[in-house]
Chain A
Amino acid sequence: MGNRVGIIGVGQTHHAAKRLDASGVELIAEAVTRALDDAELTIDDIDAIVVGNMDHFENINYVDTWAVDGLGAFMKPVFKVTTGGTTGTTVGACGYYQAASGLFDIVLAVGWEKNSESDTQAAIATCANPILERDSFAGAIGPLATEYSMYMKAFGATEEDAAIVAARDRNNALNNPYAHSRQQVTVEDVMKSPMLSYPIKFLDMCPRSDGACAVIFANEKAARKLCPEPAWVHASVVRHDYTHFGDLEWKFMPTLERASAAAYKLAGITKPLEEFDVAELYLPASTCGVKWMDSLWFCEHGEAPDLIRKGTFEMDGQLPINPSGGVISTNPIGATALIRVAEGAWQIMGKSGDRQVEGASLALCTGFGGCSWSDVMILGADLP
Chain B
Amino acid sequence: MRYMERVAIIGVGQTKYESGKRDNFAEMVFEVTNKAMEDAGITKNEIDNVVSVSSDFWDGRTISCMAISDASAAYGKDITTVEGDGTFGAIYGLMRNLSGNYGTTLVVAHHKGTESNMNGITNTAFDPLVERKLGLDAVSSGALQARRYMSAYGLLEEQFALVSVKNHGNAKRNPLAMLPMDITVEDVMGSRMVADPLKVLDCSPLTDGACAIILASETPAHKLTTRDKRVWVKGVGHCSDAFRMGDRDLADTRALKDAADRAYTMAGIIDPAKEIDVAEVYDAFTYMEPLWLEGLGICDDGMGCEYLERGLFDFEGDLPINPSGGRLSANPVQVAGLACMAECVLQLRGEAGDHQVEGADTALAHGINGMCGQSHCVWVLGR
Q: A and B touching (C-beta < 8 Å)?
A: yes
Which A residues fall within an 8 A CB radius of B? 1-3, 47, 54-56, 59-69, 73-84, 90, 93-94, 96-98, 100-104, 123-124, 126-130, 236-244, 258, 369-371
- The answer for the CA separation of A279 and B67 in the assembled complex, in Å, is 31
Instruction: State whether B79 touches A238 (Cβ < 8 A).
Output: yes
Distance, CA A65 to CA B242, complexed state (A): 8
Quick one: given A80-B84, A90-B81, A370-B63, are A241 and B74 in contact (CB under 8 Å)?
yes
- Does A78 contact B375, Cβ atoms closer than 8 Å? yes
Residue among B3, B92, B94, B371 with most chain A CB within 10 A: B92
Rounded to whole angstroms, the CA-CA distance of A102 and B125 in the bound complex is 32
Given contacts A76-B239, A79-B238, contact A62 B369 (CB under 8 A): yes
Checking B95, B101, B128, B239 against A1 with a beta-carbon cut-off of 8 angstroms, the contacting residue is B101
Question: Taking A61-B122, A239-B76 as contacts, is the C-beta distance between A370 and B84 under 8 angstroms?
Answer: no
B7 to nearest A CB, angstroms? 10
1/0 per position for B62-100, CB-CB distance to A under 8 A?
A: 110111111100111111111110001001101111111
Interface hub of B56, B63, B71, B243 (most chain A Cβ within 10 A): B63
Closest to B99 in A: A100
Q: For B98, what are the chain A residues with a Cβ–Cβ distance below 8 Å?
A: 100-103
- A284 to chain B: closest CB distance in Å? 14
Chain B: residues with Cβ within 8 Å of the partner, total of: 65
* A239 CA to B69 CA, complexed, in Å: 10
**Chain A hits for B37, CB < 8 A:** none
CA of A325 to CA of B78 in the docked complex: distance in angstroms? Answer: 28
A237 to B48, CA, bound (A): 12
Of chain B, the residue at the smallest CB distance from A93 is: B80
Q: Which residues of A contact B374 (CB under 8 A)?
A: 65, 68
Supposing A97-B92, A101-B95, A240-B74 touch, asked if A60 and B101 sit within 8 A by C-beta, the answer is no
Closest B residue to A125 by beta carbon equals B62
Contact status A243-B370, CB under 8 Å? no
CA A81 to CA B83, docked complex, whole Å:
5
- Residue B26 is within 8 A (CB to CB) of chain A in the complex: yes
Task: Kindly provide the distance from the CB of B185 to the nearest chain A CB, expressed in whole angstroms.
Answer: 33
> B68, A61: Cβ atoms under 8 Å?
no
Residue B31 at the chain A interface, CB threshold 8 Å: no
**Nearest residue, chain B, Cβ from A266:** B101
- Do most interface residues of chain B lie in helix, strand or loop, or is the interface mixed? mixed
Residues of B within 8 A of A (CB): 1-4, 26, 55-57, 60-63, 65-71, 74-84, 88, 91-92, 94-101, 121-122, 124-125, 127-128, 236-243, 254-255, 258-259, 262, 369-371, 374-375
Q: A81-B81, A243-B66 are in contact. Are A61 and B124 (CB under 8 A)?
A: yes
Interchain CB contact under 8 A, B125 and A68: no
Chain B residue contacts of A69, Cβ below 8 A: 242-243
Q: Which residues of A contact B94 (CB under 8 A)?
A: 101, 103
Given contacts A65-B125, A65-B375, A75-B241, contact A240 B69 (CB under 8 A): yes
Cβ 8 A contact of B69, one of A93, A124, A243: A243
Question: For B92, what are the chain A residues with a Cβ–Cβ distance below 8 Å?
Answer: 79, 81, 94, 97-98
Which of B81, B91, B124: most chain A CB closer than 10 A? Answer: B81
> Given the interface contacts A69-B242, A98-B95, A126-B62, does A90 sit within 8 Å of B80 by beta carbon?
yes
Known contacts A62-B84, A65-B125; decide if A97 and B67 are in contact (CB<8 Å): no
Structural contact, A82 and B78, CB atoms closer than 8 A = no
Q: Which residue of B lies closest to A47 (CB)?
A: B1
Residue of B with least CB distance to A79:
B88
Q: State in angstroms the CA–CA spacing of A66 and B243 once bound together.
A: 6
CA distance A80 to B81 in the complex (A): 9
Give which listed residue, B4, B81, B122, B243, contacts A83 with CB less than 8 A: B81
Q: In the complex the two chains form, is A2's CB within 8 Å of B369's CB?
A: no
A23–B68 Cα distance when bound, in Å, is 33
Q: Are B67 and A243 in contact (CB under 8 A)?
A: yes
| A317–B309 alpha-carbon span in the complex (Å) | 76
Tell whether A103 pairs with B69 under 8 Å between CB atoms, given A64-B84, A238-B79.
Answer: no
